[in-house]
């Protein structure tokens, strides 16, 4: 990495390792903290966290890169980074309404690991691995289960399907974290997709700029740019994740010609506050990343303690629209249960409607009338 390097964490077990190692994504992934005993060396765990770690074994994998763990508060269990990393016992309980497959992906899996829900785009789940297993993950039924990527034979089936369906204009490469694929495998996947003439857009879904920004090397940026247009959808949830290294990772992509968008998930006690989202989006836009969706938490099993009511998200959008640059206002998105698709919600701006006349309230609370054309 060039520019300013992240300092080594000032804390055991990482304060004495080689900085070059620390800055390599391979080292970060290989040295993930992946068990309770190891985490005990890093954080001062509470009893509730210890119970969470033991009760979620077999429910959803635990794992975090040294880099991402070092962003958390070692002593405060309510730290917004730490809450994304360390399971709580509530995760082991399925609440009413929750589903293993909240987005109905399995019925729409047309060939292994390829989900075709919308007419013109498909979702390729190319790996089940992630550098950090986020406690609120919606795809927890498959993510981290076996830690492997699709085989070339499985991928070949997916490419054949895309080839045979000319209505497909966009391929979203996701997982898991799509950038857990090594450079060679990634080149292979991108080149195969790009060789299909009717595909316009390749989208890459990755949390690497957040959880392991070392992955975003110059070589990676060159690979992505070579198969453009490539859109990278990343996933920052909190301003504390937007470190200078993370900002550099985003800049490296944008400089190479990759378009970068962000999707956040609204999480109770972590970012369910207009000032937190405003600060996050301000930083993102400054680093040339556009906020795309603010996702309502899905009805995945065991994550009710992260969910907010729909009114919270609407209140956040209301607090942003007009008060902040429109570049910083994402769409509030609900992926409705059962896999019927995403919908977006906006606060109620229309006060009344009569004939040709619509009365709006504006961000200042004033009202104004708009008249439709007479014809
Ligand atoms: C979210 C999603 C997409 C992309 O939706 P956009 O609204 O275009 O961002 C496509 N396919 C599946 C299966 C999805 O879940
Ligand atoms: S990076 Fe994405 S897929 Fe992986 S655990 Fe986090 S939310 Fe789930």
CA-138 nearest atom, ligand 2: 8
Whether 121 sits among the annotated catalytic residues: the reply is yes
- pLDDT tens per residue, range 293-312: 999 999 999 999 999 999 99
pLDDT exceeds cutoff 90 at 7: no
From the CA of 170, how far away is ligand 1's center (Å)? 10
Nearest-ligand number for the alpha carbon of 215: 2
* pLDDT for position 6: 62
* pLDDT for position 53: 97
Whether 293 sits among the annotated catalytic residues: the reply is no
Identify the residue with better confidence: 120 or 2.
120
Catalytic residue among 61, 117, 129, 252: 117
Whether 335 sits among the annotated catalytic residues: the reply is yes
CA distance 281 to 284: 5
* pLDDT for position 4: 52
**Domains, the chain:** 19-90 (no CATH), 106-345 (3.20.20.70)
* pLDDT for position 5: 58
* pLDDT for position 1: 40
Residue 200 backbone dihedrals phi, psi, to 5 degrees? -90, -50
Mean pLDDT of 117-143: 97
Mean pLDDT of 199-226: 98
List beta partners, residue 234: 262
Mean pLDDT of 164-169: 98
Mean pLDDT of 325-336: 98
């Amino acid at each position: 990495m060039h520019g300013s390097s992240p300092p080594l964490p000032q804390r055991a077990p990482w304060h004495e390792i080689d900085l070059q190692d620390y800055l390599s994504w391979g080292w970060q992934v290989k040295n993930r903290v992946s068990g309770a005993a190891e985490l005990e060396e890093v954080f001062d765990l509470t009893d509730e966290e210890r119970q969470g770690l033991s009760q979620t074994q077999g429910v959803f994998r635990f794992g975090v890169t040294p880099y991402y763990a070092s962003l958390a508060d070692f002593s405060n269990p309510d730290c917004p980074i730490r809450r994304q990393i360390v399971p709580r016992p509530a995760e082991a309980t399925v609440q009413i309404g929750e589903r293993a497959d909240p987005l109905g992906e399995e019925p729409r899996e047309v060939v292994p690991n390829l989900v075709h829900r919308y007419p013109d785009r498909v979702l390729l789940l190319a790996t089940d691995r992630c550098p950090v297993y986020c406690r609120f993950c919606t795809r927890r039924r498959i993510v981290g289960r076996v830690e492997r990527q699709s085989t070339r034979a499985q991928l070949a089936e997916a490419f054949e399907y895309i080839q045979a369906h000319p209505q497909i204009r966009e391929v979203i490469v996701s997982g898991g974290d799509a950038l857990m694929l090594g450079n060679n495998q990634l080149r292979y996947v991108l080149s195969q997709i790009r060789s299909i003439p009717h595909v316009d857009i390749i989208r890459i879904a990755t949390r690497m700029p957040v959880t392991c920004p070392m992955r975003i090397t110059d070589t990676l940026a060159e690979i992505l740019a070579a198969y453009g247009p490539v859109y990278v959808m990343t996933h920052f949830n909190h301003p504390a994740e937007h470190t200078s290294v993370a900002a550099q990772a985003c800049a490296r992509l944008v400089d190479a010609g990759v378009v970068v968008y962000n999707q956040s998930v609204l999480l109770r006690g972590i970012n369910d506050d207009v000032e937190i989202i405003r600060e996050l989006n301000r930083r993102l836009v400054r680093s040339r990343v556009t906020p795309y969706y603010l996702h309502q938490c899905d009805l995945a099993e065991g994550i009710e303690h992260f969910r907010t009511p729909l009114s919270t998200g609407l209140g956040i959008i209301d607090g942003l629209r007009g008060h902040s640059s429109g570049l910083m206002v994402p769409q509030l998105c609900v992926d409705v249960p059962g896999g019927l698709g995403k919908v977006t919600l906006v606060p109620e701006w229309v006060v009344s409607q009569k004939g040709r006349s619509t009365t709006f309230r504006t961000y200042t609370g004033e009202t104004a009338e708009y008249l439709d054309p007479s014809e």
